[in-house]
Amino acid sequence: MTKEDIIIVPHPSLRLTSNEIDEINDKITLTIDNMVSATLDWEKSRNHEVGVALAAVQINQLLDLIIIRNNYEDKDDLKFNVYINPKVIKKYGNLIEDYEGCLSVPDIYGKVPRFSKVKIKYLDINGVERQKTFSDFYARIIQHEIDHTKGILFIDKIKEREDAFYILNKSGKLEALKYEKDIKKNPILWK
């Protein structure tokens, strides 16, 4: 798959709940491979961004499945970790507001409040149930992706205000969108 297979707002599937996976079979492993290839193809088209994670719904597969880059700071590390049927079992730490973007909400960023630590349970690629605790940026990523499996986008968590949304300019710097001009008139940013 390519970046063209990543669905974007207002595609209706992005608002649906993903289905739990009962069996890890060839269809699931193919979906994982497709998610990785679409993410990496997207990344190749971006000068200042890294493909960090993707939920299966973003390639229009309503499966409770997430991939997260092993090391988002190293573009040469092409390994992704797989989380099947991930569920948050504990949120703790501080609620921190920081920037988020999304492959399905092109070129838009916003400050989203997320917990600094979360513990999840999930199945690994072999169907073994596991638990894992995420901190800091990885905690933000897993919360963002689990929201995708519930039909929630990061833009849903941003309060309507003047400094809510940003774009990445050509030099790779975030630039605030103007509320009246760019945001209020954009139906994608508000459900």
Active-site residue, selected from the candidate residues 4, 23, 100, 145: 145
- DSSP character string of the chain: --GGGS--TT-GGGGSPPBPPS---HHHHHHHHHHHHHHHHHHHT-SS----EEEGGGGT--BSEEEEES-TT-TT---EEEEEEEEEEEEEEEEEEEEEEETTEEEEEEEEEEEEEEEEEEE-TTS-EEEEEEEHHHHHHHHHHHHHHTT--GGGGS--STTSEEEE-TTS-EEEPPIIIIITT-GGG--
Catalytic (active site) residue 73: no
Active-site positions read 145
